[in-house]
Amino acid sequence: MRLSDLTTLRLGGPAARYLQATSEQALIEAVAEADRAGEPLLVLAGGSNLVVADEGFPGSVVRIATRGVARAGAALEVAAGEPWDPLVADCVAGGLAGVECLAGIPGSVGATPIQNVGAYGQEVAETIAAVRVLDRADGAVRTLTPAECGFTYRSSAFKREPGRWVVLAVSFALEASQRSAPIRYPELARGLGIEVGARAALGDVREAVLALRRGKGMVLDPEDPDTVSAGSFFTNPVLDADAFTALRARAAARLGADTSPPAWPDADGHVKTSAAWLIERAGFHRGHGNPEGIAISSKHTLALTNRGAGTTAELVALAREIAGGVQDAFGVALVPEPVLVGHDWLPGVA
């Protein structure tokens, strides 16, 4: 099996061994078998957040294809292999609020806690009540509380300790309501014609999110070459107050005294800024790259796309060129959002 057939970037060489697990038992057994044999293991599901080396993976690749949704009131327990976007659509149709801004994100339910998926002012951590996992450290099945999951911006305990946990199922505590959670994202509120902080009908929110996402090539679409990506390639940098002051000074010196980078301060004094803003101001534009290989999306500077004949080596080289350019221009280290398999990120930049 070539991993390019399993990733949205359509990149990645062969798997030494490949197995698809359609039941939780088969999944647990496949993982245990690889661990007993001391074989490297890669679990994947939708392949939408993975960058796999052209050389492939020298061990077992287990694709999670488990299914099942159990609903009790506004609580759901969902098998890891369930596709995420159809679940959001069902929640919206079924009058369950809390995940409507996460419509259109590809991939599986089980991967959502890994990087605490988020978009348009919502994060999955806000509605996750528990995550059932296989702990490969001792082979036990455990149910982790949200605190144990250690969710932070685009990260979690699962991402910080890669390979240790296999997510088997995710429980959600949603709100039984036809109205959305308060809309926090200004662009989405504008699209809905409401004030930031107001609520809207669930279905309207989902449609507005999908429309915004499509405009940025962020909904998988076989007709749209800008969607052959892993979504945003870099997370938005989160800087401490001193680092943000230094960035502001660099930006003013480079771009003019009245230029200030976007700033979203958080409660503990950190400031999140925009990776796309930094990339564009460092001189990288939409479409930059190889029109037949790897290039920045023509709709969104944060997405790196495979125009057909790209390779993972080329993708990583372009990502490093961009990160190096941002580092030189602004002194900010960009961090890749997708999981790199078989490639290290730049020493000193990651």
Residues that bind ligand FAD (CB under 6 A): 8, 43-50, 64, 80, 105-108, 110-112, 114-115, 117-119, 165-167, 218, 220, 227, 229-231, 339
Nearer to ligand FAD, 252 or 339 (CB): 339
Nearer to ligand FAD, 98 or 106 (CB): 106
Q: How far is the CB of 73 from ligand FAD (least distance, A)?
A: 25
Please say if 232 is a catalytic residue. Answer: yes
For 158-190, give one letter per residue: b (16+ CB within 10 A) or e: bbeeeeebbbbbbbbbbeeeebbbebebeebbe
Q: How far is the CB of 294 from ligand FAD (least distance, A)?
A: 15
Q: How far is the CB of 171 from ligand FAD (least distance, A)?
A: 14
Please say if 199 is a catalytic residue. Answer: no
Q: Where are the alpha helices (DSSP H) in the chain?
A: 24-36, 84-93, 146-149, 157-160, 186-192, 202-215, 241-255, 275-281, 312-330
CA dihedral 129, 135, 139, 145 (to 10 degrees): -30
**Sheet with 294-296: strands ordered across:** 229-232, 303-306, 294-296
Nearer to ligand FAD, 11 or 50 (CB): 50
Which DSSP string corresponds to 183-222? P--HHHHHHHTS-TT---BHHHHHHHHHHHHHHTT-S--T
Q: Which residue is nearest to ligand FAD (CB)?
A: 107
Please say if 337 is a catalytic residue. Answer: yes
Nearer to ligand FAD, 64 or 296 (CB): 64
Nearer to ligand FAD, 45 or 315 (CB): 45
Tell me the residue type at 263. A
Q: How far is the CB of 114 from ligand FAD (least distance, A)?
A: 4
Of the listed 63, 132, 154, 281, which one is catalytic?
Answer: 154
Of the listed 82, 100, 123, 337, which one is catalytic?
Answer: 337
Neighbours of 240 (CB within 10 A): 12
Q: How far is the CB of 43 from ligand FAD (least distance, A)?
A: 5
Decide: 98 and 181 in contact? Cβ < 8 Å: yes
Of the listed 232, 297, 298, 314, which one is catalytic?
Answer: 232
Active site residues: 154, 232, 337
